[in-house]
Amino acid sequence: MAQKTIMLVCSAGMSTSLLVTKMQKAAEEQEIDADIFAVSSSEADAQLDNKDVNVLLLGPQVRFMKDDYEKRLSPKGISVDVINMSDYGMMNGENVLQQALNLIDN
């Protein structure tokens, strides 16, 4: 099992899949054992029920969901944050991975 599980949520799950690929590459380069995956907002709850997620990152287009996820996931110890818009736009997998790791370590 992966040491860290990072779930990205966006409106359709499509644009975020490229970011996942870049984050996985950055994790491999840093020798970080991570399960990183993206889902659409409609699939997020099912994934949260089936996977042991450490952190949930929201795409900028679904930032309005942050409060709801924080209320539901905080008691489970799952951190929630919105991906930095410029990192998302530039598909900067290294920065987004670092954002996720910082949330897990806090």
The residues annotated as belonging to the active site are 10
**Alpha-carbon 61 to chain mean position:** 14
In the structure encoding, which two tokens stand for residue 19, read together? 């970011």
Between vectors from CA 12 to CA 23 and to CA 71, what angle results, nearest 5°? 80
Query: Looking at residue 83, what DSSP letter applies?
Result: P
3-state secondary structure 19-52: HHHHHHHHHHHCCCCEEEEEEECCCHHHHHHHCC
